Chains A and B, each alone.
Chain A
Amino acid sequence: MELRAKLALLADAAKYDASCASSGSEKRDSTQGGLGSTEGMGICHAYAPDGRCISLLKLLLTNACIFDCAYCINRATSNIRRARFTVDEVVRLTLAFYRRNYIEGLFLSSGIIRSADYTMEQLIRVARTLREQHGFLGYIHLKTIPDAAPELLAEAGRWADRLSINVELPQIASLKELAPEKDLPAIHGAMGELSTHIADAKEARRTAGRAAPPRFAPAGQSTQMIIGADNSTDGQILGTSDGLYKQFRLRRVYYSAYSPIPDASAALPPQPPPLLREHRLYQADWLLRFYDFTTEEILSGGEDGMLDLEADPKLAWALKHRDDFPLDLNKAPREALLRVPGLGARNVDRILEARRHSRVKLADLARLRVPLRKVAPFLVAPDHRPPPGQIDATGLRQKLLNPSAFAAAQPAQLSLAL
C-alpha cells in the first residue's frame, strides 16, 4: 500500500484516542545537537473542524488487532481495511512533519498483533530509532500494552515522554462484556509499575549529582475512558478517575464520548451520548484536581449519580448549597472563593492580591473579565448587595441558565454592578 493511503487509514484509526497533550515534560533543546525541543508548554499546531488540538502525529503502527473490543473500529471482527507501517515509515513521517513545524512529536499506538510483547517491541523500536539514530528531542507518547513484559515497559519509559494505558470502561462488568480480552487487574498492575518507575526516576533526578540518572516518562502517565458505551453513571466514572489519580498519580484521565464509527458492533448503543456529557465530566474532573471538591460533593449537584447537563458542575453544586452564599468578596478565604460559580482559580488569586491594596468591588471583577451575571447572586461587595431572598428564590436557577431573562428582570441591580 502506498504511504499516503496508509497514513490516511492509520491516522483515521488513531483519532478515537482523545489525548494530544505535549506539555509537562522535561526541558531540552537541540543547541548541543539533535533535532527538536520541549520547553514545558504544550503547543497545538493546528485545530481540526472538530475543535480538537493537533499537537502530535497520532498514528497506529497497525490497525490489525487480535482483540475484539466492541467499541473499537479496529476490533478483530470489524470489516475495515487493514494496514501496517514499517518502523522506518513512522520515523520518516515524524521527522519530516517535525522539521516543517507541523507537530510537537509523535503519539504512537497499535492494535495488538501476534502478542503483547511483540507489539510493544515494535512501538519501542520506533521511539528508540527516533531518539538514538536521529537525535530526536521532540515529544513522544507511547501507548503501553499492559500485558507486555516488565522489561519492555521499563524500556518504553526510557524513550517516551508520556506513557498511557487506557482503562476504556469504568466498570469491570462492562469490560467483561464489551472488551472480553482486556484484563483490568493486569491494567492496574502495569499502571502501578509505571507509577513506581516514574516516581523513582523523579526522585533520583532530584537527589542526583552531576550524572543524570536514566529518565522515565518525565511527562507521566495518562489514561482514557469511553463515555456512553456502557451504562456507567457519571458517579461511577468520576469515582474510577478519583481512584486512578490517587492510586497511580496519573497526570490526566481523558474522557471520550463513544463516537459513531463505520461498521459499528451491534453490542453498542445506536446513538452516541451527547458531547455535553463528556464536557461536564471534564469540568468535574477539573474540580476534583484543582478546586478541592470531592466526588461526592460534585455528584451532589446532580441527580441519581448523573451530573446536571444544563448547569456546569460548580454552579449545580452551588445551587444546591445556597446556605453557603452570598460570600463577602473582601473577607471570604481562598477555598470559599474557589467555590463561587464563575470565579476561576487564577481570578481568585488576582482578587486576593488586589484585596491587599484596596477593597475589591464588583466593578473590578468586570475588568478581570469575570462573568458578573453569574457571580453577582453569590457575592457581596462594596458596590453590590444581592436583593434579599434572591439566593433562595426558586427562579434563580432558570435566570442563571438563561442570562438574558436575568438581565430583563433585574435592570437596576445590574446597572449598579456594572
Chain B
Amino acid sequence: MRCSVTLDAPADYGGWRRAARDLLGAGIRPEEVSWHTPGDAPELFAGTAPPAARPAALSVPRDFLELAELAVRHSDGERFALLYSLLWDGRRDPGLLRNPAEARMVRLHAMARAVRRDAHKMHAFVRFREIDTPEGERSVAWFEPEHHIVEAEAGFFQRRFAALRWSILTPRRCAHWDGEALGFTDGARRADAPAGDAAEDLWRTYFASIFNPARLKPDAMRAEMPKKYWKNLPEARIIPELMQGAEGRLRAMLGQEAKPPARRQKPGRDAG
C-alpha cells in the first residue's frame, strides 16, 4: 500500500511529527510513503491517506527533534522522507539517532547546518530601505534565502526592530510587522521592494574607509560573503574598485619617504 502525506506548508514540522506518529503506529514502511507540500505538482499526489491507527508512542532524543525542526526548513525535497526513515530505523537501533557519524545522520546534520547558516546570513545581510507610506515610515527589505526560513526567522527581526514597522520580501514568502503582530504573505518580486537611496552612500563610504588595502584577502571575504548575496548588498557594488585600487595604495605607503614629523598639536586645542 502506498501512502501520500501532504503537509500544510514547506516547513510544517508539527504536521510532519503528527503524520510520522500515525504512520509508525500503522506500521507503514518508509519506502511506502511519499511526502508532499502545497507547491508540489498534483500528479505526484498518488497514494492514499495514511490509515487511522493508534499513534505510536515515541521516545526520541531531544537533540534529534531539534535537528529535525531545523532540517524540515531545508529546500531538499527528500527531507521529510529522510527524517521518517531515521525514525523508523531508530526504533530497532536506539543508538542510531544519537550517532553523529552514521551516513544519514551526517546528512541530517549537514541539512541543519545549512539551514542555520542561511538563517545567520539572513540576520546579517537583510538591508532595509525606508519608505514613506500613508501610515508613516516603513522599512522594507528584499532578501533571497535558500531555504524555507522566513517564518522561523521573522521573530529575530521582531525582537530587534519592534519599534519599527517593517516588511521583508522574499521570492517564496514575505514577513510583515506592523508594531503589534507578525503577518505572512506569499512570495514577492524584487521590483516590489524600494530601490537604493542616498543613505546608502554613507554606508558605502564607511565600507570603503574601514577596508585596509594593505591586507587584501578577497578569498576570505568571499568565503563568508558569497557572491550570490552581492546583488542585494548596497556596499558590494564598490568591492571591485576597492580591490583594484588596493595594490597602488599599498605601494605608495611602502615606498614613501619618511617625512619630517609634523609640529605637535598643542594639548587643549581640538581639531576640526
Is B205's CB under 8 angstroms from A62's CB?
A: no
How many residue pairs between the two chains, A and B, have CB atoms under 8 Å in the bound complex?
219
Q: Is the CB of A49 within 8 A of B101?
A: no
A49 touches B239 (CB 8 A): yes
Q: Which applies to chain A's interface (DSSP): helix, strand, loop or mixed?
A: loop
- Does A354 interact with chain B (Cβ within 8 Å)? yes
| Residues in A neighbouring B57, C-beta threshold 8 A | none
A45 to B141, CA, bound (A): 15
Is the beta-carbon distance between A44 and B209 smaller than 8 angstroms? Answer: no
Q: Which of A35-76 contact B (CB under 8 A)?
A: 35-37, 39, 41, 43-54, 57-58, 62-66, 68, 76
Cβ A357 vs Cβ B214 within 8 A: no
B224 — which chain A residues lie within 8 A by C-beta?
A: 44, 47, 51, 53
Pair A29/B160 contact, Cβ less than 8 Å:
yes
- Residue count of chain B within 8 Å CB distance of chain A: 73
Q: List B contacts of A33 (CB < 8 A).
A: 162-163
Q: Does A412 contact B (CB under 8 A)?
A: no
Specify which chain A residues have a CB less than 8 angstroms from the CB of B254 in the assembled complex.
260, 270-271
Residue of B whose beta carbon sits closest to that of A62: B271
B49 at the interface (CB under 8 A from A): no
A31 at the interface (CB under 8 A from B): yes
Q: Would B156 and A30 count as touching, CB distance under 8 A? A: no
Enumerate chain B residues within 8 angstroms of A266, measured Cβ to Cβ.
258
Contacts of A37 in B (CB 8 A): 156, 159-160
- Asked if B64 CB lies within 8 Å of chain A CBs, one says no
Contact with A along B198-241 (1 / 0, CB 8 A): 01011101111111111111111100110000000101000100
Query: Does B264 touch A at the CB level, under 8 Å?
Result: yes
Instruction: Indicate whether A416 reaches chain B with its CB closer than 8 angstroms.
Output: no
- Which residue of chain B lies nearest to A57 when distances are taken between CB atoms in the complex? B206
B264 touches A77 (CB 8 A): yes
Contact between chains at B162 and A30 (CB < 8 Å): yes
CA distance A408 to B124 in the complex (A): 43
Residues of A within 8 A of B160 (CB): 29-30, 36-37
Q: In the complex, which residues of chain B have a beta carbon less than 8 angstroms from the beta carbon of A332?
A: none
Number of interface residues of A (CB under 8 A): 85
What CA separation (Å) do A360 and B126 show in the bound complex? 42
Which of A92-100, A216-224, A229-237 faces chain B?
A92-100
Are the C-beta atoms of B265 and A76 separated by less than 8 Å? yes
* A39 contact set on B, CB distance < 8 A: 156, 159
Contact partners of A350 in chain B: CB under 8 A: 100-101
Chain A residues with CB below 8 A from B235, complex form: 46
State the CA gap A79–B260 with chains docked (Å): 9
**A410 CB–B CB distance under 8 Å:** no
Which of chain A's residues has its CB closest to B239's CB?
A49
A8-B253 contact in complex given A84-B270, A354-B101, C-beta closer than 8 Å: no
Question: Which single member of A1, A16, A99, A264 contacts B258 (CB below 8 Å)?
Answer: A264
CA distance A392 to B201 in the complex (A): 59
Residues of chain B within 8 A of A58, CB atoms compared: 210
Residue of B100, B125, B159 near A30 (CB, 8 A) is: B159
Using a CB–CB distance below 8 Å, which chain B residues touch chain A?
A: 95-96, 98-101, 103, 106, 120, 123-130, 139, 141, 156, 158-164, 199, 201-203, 205-221, 224-225, 233, 235, 239, 242-243, 246, 250, 252-254, 256, 258-259, 261-265, 267-268, 270-272
21 cross-chain CB contacts under 8 A: A4-B201, A8-B209, A11-B210, A15-B212, A29-B160, A29-B162, A36-B160, A39-B156, A45-B125, A46-B207, A48-B211, A49-B217, A49-B221, A52-B212, A66-B264, A99-B130, A100-B129, A101-B141, A259-B212, A261-B253, A353-B99
